[in-house]
Structure 1
Amino acid sequence: MFLSPSIRITLCFVGIALLCLFAADLAVTTINPWEDLANLFLGIVTPDFFSLEGIGTALLRTLAFAFTGVALGSAAGFLLALAFRWRIVRVFCAFIRAIHELFWALIFLQFFGFHPLTGVLAIAIPYAGIFAKVYSEILDEVDPTPERVLPTGLNTLSAFLYARIPDALPHLITYTSYRLECGLRSSAVLGFVGLPTLGYYLESSFAQGFYSEVGALLLMFYVLIATLRLWARPKLIPFYVVAAPFFLGDGLPIVWGNVVRFFTEDIVPSPIRDDEGLAGLWTWFSDLALNEALPGIWNTLVLTQIALVLTGIVTLLAFPLISQHFGGPVRRTFGHVLLVIGRSTPEYMLAYILLQLWGPSMLPAVVALALHNGGIIGHLIGRRSNEIALRPDAPHGINRYTYELVPRLYSPFLAFLFYRWEIIMRETAILGILGIYTLGFYVDSAIQNIQFDRAIVLILVTALLNILVDMISRRVRAGLKLKVHHTCEGH
């Protein structure tokens, strides 16, 4: 029986995920999870907007961190994109974007404290790497014809400004607008490490069992994302960017001596600081690798592979919700609402909520990753399905889904899914901060124990693991001749 390469690679990944299930901890450990879930649902349908103190300030700070961080990231990313053809620039960008915003925040917290600079840089640095990659691809895809008709002798800068930028500008603006939505999610999540954004108030309300406050916060966040195109119009963006730094708030003065000490002492391996020689360094590194790095890598890989396959299943179930080939406008509107909720809720925030309801295990993380990423890819595949014209005698119902649409959509579906593989890995690592034994758990534990040298090594391991998965993903997509359009990669 002949199987296409796409089906073979699908079966391979499904098989790996099934094997990973035997090594995963997917237990529900709370006494009455359904009661807790019902209380949360009741809180969402009966939100209490009036008992929240300081929520207006939290909203402003969430917006301010997002606009300032994304603006700095896009400016730096554009400059890096101009030199992206150099290998050292590509490696640098791959490294900084492989480290999650929360990891960057945890690093900066150690010497900047709860200063606005911590939140801004935590967003700007990884976003610079992302922007550089996508901006360079947009510029490379520009039609070369205008450059060929320019007058002879025109300098390189003028040729770039007149021939490449006008064609690329709409795509650059579209992608930057999308990254702003991502920036809002990142900004909100920074509250979970103590910065005064929406995540801080969500965690506080949940810890106290104030579900109506949780519902109010979630609804405000969804409205903020859903109305983004209404209030974040291109003409208003420069005004927001200029105003945003004034709403970041104040922090304690930066003690630059702490910054110097962090880089010259704190992150230096303790055997080197204590002059224990190579034997001491080897013992230190072996202990770190065997007891923290390797268990963290294993759990990160296990959780990632299960979440990747479950994301694919959620996508295939979700895209008909917004496809014009199924149901009427009422059903599609309802489907759009569900997918907006799924893709707008950050994985970290959703995992935190599920962790409170189900208890500490991999299950909340797997479900959170699948719902968020499945919502994103389901939205993209649903839109792609609307571009397909079916013949008048096309079958209906399950046959239309199985024989007409899925075969035509399967290649872009795999392209999006494998692109999200590295992103799922990146999120899986950071979810360890919530108590799941991925790499983030060991990073957070090292920081809590003031072992910054161990934390930095584990963060580097996380970055290298993400880069490795990204390389494998690219090879798989190249082997299957799958391509993700640059306007969708950021999703």
Structure 2
Amino acid sequence: MLAYPTVRTSLIFLAIAIGGLLVADIAITTANPWQDLGQFFLGVATPNFFSTEGLATALLRTVAFAFVGVTLGSVFGFLLSLAYRWLPVRLFCAFIRAIHELFWALIFLQFFGFHPLTGVLAIAIPYAGIFAKVYSEIFEEADPEPGRLLPPGTNRAVAFLYAKVPDCWVQLRTYTAYRLECGLRSSAILGFVGLPTLGFYLESSFSMGMYSDAGAMLILFYVLIATMPLWVRPKLLPVFILAAPFFLGEGMPIVWGNVERFFTEDIVPAPLREGEGLAGLLPWLGDVMANEALPGIWNTVVLTQIALVATGILSLLAFPLISRHFGGPVRRTSGHVLLVIARSTPEYILAYILLQLWGPSMLPAVVALALHNGGIIGHLIGRQSSTIHLRPDAPRGFVRYSWELVPRLYRPFLAFLFYRWEIIMRETAILGILGIYTLGFYVDSSIQELRFDRAMLLILITALLNIGVDTLGRYIRRRLALQTLPTC
């Protein structure tokens, strides 16, 4: 049976999501949405792999940006994890990871332009914060027994390298490999802001209605993700890491005067820049808060809560697709393919596709967030369910699902769900760039209008909102005695 606190918490979040649906903009506004959707699937079924010039180069640069960004992020994240117990380090890591890769890219574009450094830093900086958090939690939850077996008086650094790291190595390697997959998704969507990765060509194909070309790009991206175990081998990693910087492209030269002007003039609040002082600053802040920040926060929170509950429902429905307790090998293989597609497609790309087909509203964003995150959690819970041994006379069908498996999996399921709460919030904010009225919409609008002071303030508010959700998620996991770092 499920414990009362977990049931009560689940019902509270369900009630909040239902309340959000009552005020959310959930609608299909295009004239022929199902016809457009059919044309898209026809394009996926009839891909054109040879029409787009530069597609191979885009794939290569997508991989190169991912490898360089994730490598730098993991190295600096590991170093930060060693000092993560210090509050200033935790706050710094929380801040840099709370800002989405696309926000970082939009910032660096203003002074680096379309230089490879823009894409590399956009991935490396938030990933360093993520790596620091996860690596530190892995170290904290490691078995202390190996360290006790070392000779008395052993140096702490030596003990860490010879006892802690080897004991955590499998988890560190597994998470880093997963983060490389995430890096490929992040690298792909950088093309939507103009960098020469896969997203750039995908957006161009969709805008021109060339669904077969877009289908070819999506299929190539799925193949790239699905075949990672075949081509990302430990012995080849040094080769990939050393070679990747040479495939980033050159881009335009960096004008360092633009960098100086951005930090000394562009992001300084307009009243201070124009000499109005504090007397002009307060009305300026009030205007930003009333007309941009508060509406953006409201829509971001509403969309996040709906997407969070939708993700949970979809995860619980999806895990039987790959569980050994349901169906045979053919069904499980088909289920694996479906979940790989769902979790491999970045939320941003899914939302972009659905917005083209259904029109601008929160519905494409909810569906995109639920499919992607539901695919991830459904995959993890499905794998975990396969490790459960049922008695020979255990019931079958829906009774097995509802009475035998869900009660045993519900706590790790909640741990995964609350762990991804912050991630869903980050993605919700950035989806505003596509025209949904979350914080990202107002950030992008301010950048388009060259009002970088407003954009930076809104990005700061976005980061603080993400930090708040992450803190609340950690509190709920501790209160319900869920794992701090859910693993599977």
Change (3 A) 1:157 1:344: same
Structure 1 contact 84–133 (Cα < 8 Å) conserved: yes
Question: How far apart in 2 are the matches of 1:462 and 1:366?
Answer: 19
Q: Which amino acid aligns with 1:5?
A: P
Root-mean-square deviation (CA, aligned residues, Å) is: 1.1
Question: CA deviation digits over 1:327-349, x for unaligned, max 9?
Answer: 11101110000000000000000
The answer to whether structure 1 residue 195 and structure 2 residue 207 are counterparts is no
Q: Which amino acid aligns with 1:463?
A: A
Residue number in structure 1 paired with 2:285: 285
Residue number in structure 2 paired with 1:249: 249
Matches within 5 A, 1:7-156: 7-156=7-156
Question: CA deviation digits over 1:208-246, x for unaligned, max 9?
Answer: 000000110000000000000100011111110000000
Residue number in structure 1 paired with 2:440: 440
Question: CA deviation digits over 1:418-469, x for unaligned, max 9?
Answer: 1111110110000000000000000000000000000000000000000001
Matches within 5 A, 1:458-473: 458-473=458-473
Residue number in structure 1 paired with 2:339: 339
Question: CA deviation digits over 1:343-363, x for unaligned, max 9?
Answer: 000000000000000000000
Q: How many Å apart are 1:3 and its aligned residue?
A: 7.2
User: Which consecutive unaligned segments of at least 5 residues does structure 1 have?
Assistant: none
Q: How many Å apart are 1:165 and its aligned residue?
A: 1.8
Question: How far apart in 1 are the matches of 2:176 and 2:300?
Answer: 30
Structure 1 contact 174–487 (Cα < 8 Å) conserved: no
Q: How many Å apart are 1:149 and its aligned residue?
A: 2.6
Question: How far apart in 1 are the matches of 2:143 and 2:22?
Answer: 50
Residue number in structure 2 paired with 1:324: 324
Q: How many Å apart are 1:155 and its aligned residue?
A: 2.4
Residue number in structure 2 paired with 1:214: 214
Residue number in structure 2 paired with 1:361: 361
Residue number in structure 2 paired with 1:418: 418
Question: How far apart in 1 are the matches of 2:424 and 2:161?
Answer: 37
Q: How many Å apart are 1:142 and its aligned residue?
A: 2.6
Q: How many Å apart are 1:484 and its aligned residue?
A: 5.0
Question: How far apart in 2 are the matches of 1:407 and 1:191?
Answer: 43
Residue number in structure 1 paired with 2:402: 402
Q: How many Å apart are 1:161 and its aligned residue?
A: 1.7
Q: Report percent identity of matched pairs.
A: 74
Q: Secondary structure at the match of 2:23?
A: coil
Q: Secondary structure at the match of 1:22?
A: helix
Question: CA deviation digits over 1:220-277, x for unaligned, max 9?
Answer: 0000000001000111111100000000001111111110110010000000011112
Question: How far apart in 2 are the matches of 1:256 and 1:331?
Answer: 57
Question: How far apart in 2 are the matches of 1:145 and 1:390?
Answer: 33
Q: Which amino acid aligns with 1:112?
A: F
Residue number in structure 2 paired with 1:348: 348
TM-score (normalizing by structure 2): 0.98
Question: How far apart in 2 are the matches of 1:466 and 1:145?
Answer: 36
Structure 2 contact 138–485 (Cα < 8 Å) conserved: no
Residue number in structure 1 paired with 2:227: 227
Matched length: 487
Residue number in structure 2 paired with 1:263: 263
Runs of 4+ residues deviating >3 angstroms: 484-488
Question: CA deviation digits over 1:274-332, x for unaligned, max 9?
Answer: 11122211111000000000000000001001101111110111000001111111011
Question: CA deviation digits over 1:130-182, x for unaligned, max 9?
Answer: 00011112222232223223233332222222222221222211111111000
TM-score (normalizing by structure 1): 0.98
Residue number in structure 2 paired with 1:239: 239
Question: How far apart in 1 are the matches of 2:278 and 2:72?
Answer: 42
Structure 1 contact 343–375 (Cα < 8 Å) conserved: yes
Residue number in structure 2 paired with 1:186: 186
User: Which consecutive unaligned segments of at least 5 residues does structure 2 have?
Assistant: none
Q: How many Å apart are 1:487 and its aligned residue?
A: 4.5
Residue number in structure 1 paired with 2:456: 456
Q: How many Å apart are 1:485 and its aligned residue?
A: 3.8
Question: How far apart in 1 are the matches of 2:4 and 2:166?
Answer: 41
Question: How far apart in 2 are the matches of 1:379 and 1:85?
Answer: 32
Question: How far apart in 1 are the matches of 2:154 and 2:415?
Answer: 40
Structure 1 contact 74–176 (Cα < 8 Å) conserved: yes
Structure 2 contact 62–188 (Cα < 8 Å) conserved: yes
Question: More displaced, 279-288 or 351-360?
Answer: 279-288
Q: How many Å apart are 1:486 and its aligned residue?
A: 5.5
Question: How far apart in 2 are the matches of 1:22 and 1:387?
Answer: 40
Structure 1 contact 94–129 (Cα < 8 Å) conserved: yes
Question: How far apart in 1 are the matches of 2:127 and 2:133?
Answer: 10
Question: How far apart in 2 are the matches of 1:98 and 1:386?
Answer: 34
Question: How far apart in 1 are the matches of 2:336 and 2:450?
Answer: 45
Q: Which amino acid aligns with 2:358?
A: W
Q: Secondary structure at the match of 2:420?
A: helix
Structure 1 contact 415–482 (Cα < 8 Å) conserved: yes
Q: Secondary structure at the match of 1:382?
A: helix
Q: Which amino acid aligns with 1:355?
A: L
Structure 1 contact 66–187 (Cα < 8 Å) conserved: yes
Residue number in structure 1 paired with 2:160: 160
Structure 1 contact 175–487 (Cα < 8 Å) conserved: no
Q: Which amino acid aligns with 2:278?
A: L
Question: More displaced, 362-371 or 133-142?
Answer: 133-142
Change (3 A) 1:454 1:166: same
